[in-house]
């Protein structure tokens, strides 16, 4: 009941513009590349992975709340407010990626196929990392700065994963033998990131103020420590 009552004000207060622009660009990109011709599985795979990163970066802005520092005494815990923001951002990004995936699958050449379940886990991790980075940044700097930090955190993680080398590269092609093993790792990463979102969305600790000591230096002034 509390979440339902919060839904309308949180929807109105959420900064949806970056996610809406990213969604429009993602769907346009999937539809316009090689327009009028069928897509190869490699092109579709690359476009959907780019879409996942784009939507993850944009979803980070849904976490930002310019009034977060001034609403610590509200009857609704911060964990609930921020958790709802993360859920709405993830839902918007997820629905957009699903629509882009449906378009890509419909445009595939005859005989080509995509391993959609594994790619969906990749997209979910990208969105979750963007939300986690923004949620951590929002604890220090409420507002749209948190969204920028979330976008930067996601791009940093993706950049490191792209240049990483080893037997289990995080971005394999569907026809490679280690696809299943790598995506077990993706699934484990998703569980860890989602688990970390709980503490990141938790209530902010109030600053501990130094108690005022009354001494000879004047009434109401803290006595110096010699």
Cβ atoms 116, 43 nearer than 8 A = no
Q: Which two tokens stand for residue 51?
A: 């879409």
pTM higher than 0.85, yes or no? no
Residue 5 has pLDDT above 80, yes or no: no
| Placement of tokens 């000879």 in the chain | 216
Our CA dihedral for 74, 76, 77, 82, rounded to 10 degrees, sits at -110
Residue 195 has pLDDT above 90, yes or no: yes
Cβ atoms 52, 120 nearer than 8 A = no
Nearest Cα to 189, choosing from 163, 165, 154?
154
Residue 188 has pLDDT above 80, yes or no: yes
- Contacts of residue 82, defined as CB under 8 A and 6 or more positions apart, other chains included, come to 63, 65, 135, 138, 200, 201
Q: What confidence tens digit (pLDDT) does each residue in 35-60 have?
A: 888 899 999 999 999 999 999 999 99
**Residue 206, φ and ψ in degrees, nearest 5:** -75, 145
Specify the length of the chain in residues.
226
Q: What is the DSSP string of 169-180?
A: -SS--TTSTTHH
Angle between helices 116-138 and 78-106 (to 10 degrees): 150
Q: What confidence tens digit (pLDDT) does each residue in 107-142 have?
A: 998 888 899 999 999 999 999 999 999 999 888 877
């Amino acid at each position: 009941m509390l979440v339902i009552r919060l839904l309308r004000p949180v929807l109105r207060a959420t900064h949806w513009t970056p996610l809406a622009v990213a969604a429009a660009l993602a769907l346009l990109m999937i539809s316009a590349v090689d327009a009028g011709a069928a897509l190869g599985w490699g092109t579709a795979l690359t476009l959907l992975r780019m879409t996942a990163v784009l939507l993850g970066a944009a979803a980070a802005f849904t976490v930002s709340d310019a009034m977060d520092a001034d609403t610590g005494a509200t009857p609704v815990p911060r964990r609930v407010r921020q958790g709802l923001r993360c859920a709405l951002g993830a839902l918007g990004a997820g629905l957009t990626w699903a629509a882009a995936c449906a378009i890509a699958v419909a445009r595939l050449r005859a005989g080509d196929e995509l391993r959609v379940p594994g790619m969906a886990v990749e997209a979910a991790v990208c969105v979750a990392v963007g939300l986690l980075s923004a949620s951590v940044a929002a604890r220090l700097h409420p507002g749209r700065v948190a969204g920028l930090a979330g976008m930067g955190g996601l791009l940093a993680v993706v950049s490191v994963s792209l240049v990483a080398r080893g037997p289990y590269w995080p971005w394999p092609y569907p026809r490679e033998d280690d696809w299943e093993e790598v995506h077990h790792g993706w699934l484990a990463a998703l569980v860890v990131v989602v688990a970390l979102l709980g503490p990141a969305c938790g209530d902010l600790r109030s600053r501990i103020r130094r108690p005022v000591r009354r001494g000879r230096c004047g009434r109401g002034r803290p006595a110096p420590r010699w």
